[in-house]
A = this chain, B = another copy of it.
Amino acid sequence: MAEKRVNKVVLAYSGGLDTSIILKWLQTTYGCEVVTFTADLGQGEELEPARKKAELLGIKPENIFIEDLRDEFVRDYVFPMFRANAQYEGLYLLGTSIARPLIAKKQIEIAEKVGADAVAHGATGKGNDQVRFELGYYALKPDVTVIAPWREWDLRSREQLIAFAEAHQIPIAKDKRGEAPFSVDANLLHASSEGKVLEDPSLEVPDYVYSRTNDPESAPDKPTVIRIEFLKGDPVAIDGKKMGPADLLAKLNELGRINGIGRLDLVENRFVGMKSRGMYETPGGTILHLAHRGIESITLDRGAAHLKDELMPKYAELIYNGFWFSPEREMLQALIDKSQEFVTGEVTLKLYKGGVHLIGRQSPYTLYDQDLVTFEEGAVAYDHRDAAGFIKLNALRLRTLAQRKKKLGL
């Protein structure tokens, strides 16, 4: 039975079995009009079958929304996040987390357009994605009704789901009858898997779980060398060829895929309170992360760089926890973006059997002044004797502490 009354709901719809079941469940449980939204974020699936499926399930053509969001996704979400060098818990490049706010935003936009009073998603009740979707919904439309079927329905097992599907004439692909050995999320930035065969963190992830990268051991024996150009903190060209955001990331993914780059086996701390083990593949993102650090290393001042580093864990946590549309994330973004004005130039990287190795960087805005480091005096003079005073004053408080200790006989 429905917990709330709704008239029209915008469902994040993939066209797969699970969201098709949700679609039907919404219709039968809430008796409401269902609007489907299917987005291309680079997950690597055709969108037209989703339209067919929705029509088959009785959705009116004007209620079917399909959109290619790849450029918007990369330009307005992925790149801003990479300006921050964001890594959750030191390692995870936030590939799933960063896609959710955009989907939420589009659902709300459609809800406003079609006059829907509710939105729904297919995330489960134990994960982070429910939080990310719903914080996005509420931040953009505070009076929206949120339906999270996995938290509401009483379908408790695969069998029950299949039975529901059969009872409602939802087509079931053969390989979907049994339980999947792991669940997958994918977009242009990454693919991730979790569950079942991955649940014992002491056991290696089986090779068949990976879908986006070669095993490093079967990657080419010759390294690939590439050059990435940056403009104000964002990549704009590979090997001299200018590309749009989505094309550029796709190209990096391809280069990473071949060379077995970007696999991550991680036990992470979910916002909802438990640890989980996931497998991530972020081939292009892994290259981009190191490339961005590389161009920053010569164009960013120390004070700016260290401030960014200190704030990065908090920024990453906010995105992981679903607070993209929060004042504090926007404040941090303002701080980060402010730092990127001169993060322009080129880095050279060697990709080899799972590794990304930065081998060169240059920029018209470089702060690395060779004259300063050699013994000849550079444009900005460095006098060795200044170092003595610098050290003496930095030491002053430590000497005072030591004097106290001495006086006390400690």
Contact = CB atoms under 8 A, between A and B. Distances in A.
Contacts of A403: 142-143, 369, 379-380
Contact of A217 (B150, B223, B266, B361): B223
Contacts of A310: 310, 313-314
Most buried by B among A203, A326, A330, A342: A326
Contact of A85 (B90, B138, B293): B90
A177 interface: no
Contact of A275 (B277, B326, B369): B369
B293 A398 contact: no
A400 B379 CA distance: 9
Given A328-B307, A339-B327, A399-B380, A393 B357 contact: no
B387 A326 contact: no
A182 interface: no
Interface string A265-304: 1111100111111000000000000000110011001111
The complex is assembled from copies of this chain, and their number is 4
Contacts of A313: 306, 309-310, 312
A113 interface: no
A342 B110 CA distance: 28
Contacts of A90: 85, 293, 309
Contact of A395 (B138, B151, B365, B404): B138
Given A91-B293, A389-B386, A392-B390, A398 B135 contact: yes
Nearest to A328: B303
A62 interface: no
A205 interface: yes
24 contacts: A130-B391, A134-B395, A138-B398, A138-B399, A139-B401, A199-B373, A199-B374, A201-B368, A204-B359, A216-B352, A274-B373, A275-B298, A276-B368, A301-B326, A301-B397, A304-B327, A304-B328, A307-B314, A307-B328, A334-B335, A367-B397, A386-B389, A386-B392, A389-B389
Q: Which 4 A-B pairs have the closest CB atoms?
A: A389-B389, A273-B396, A125-B384, A386-B389
Given A269-B397, A275-B373, A331-B338, 11 more contacts: A135-B398, A138-B398, A151-B387, A202-B360, A204-B359, A274-B369, A274-B382, A307-B314, A310-B314, A323-B398, A354-B357
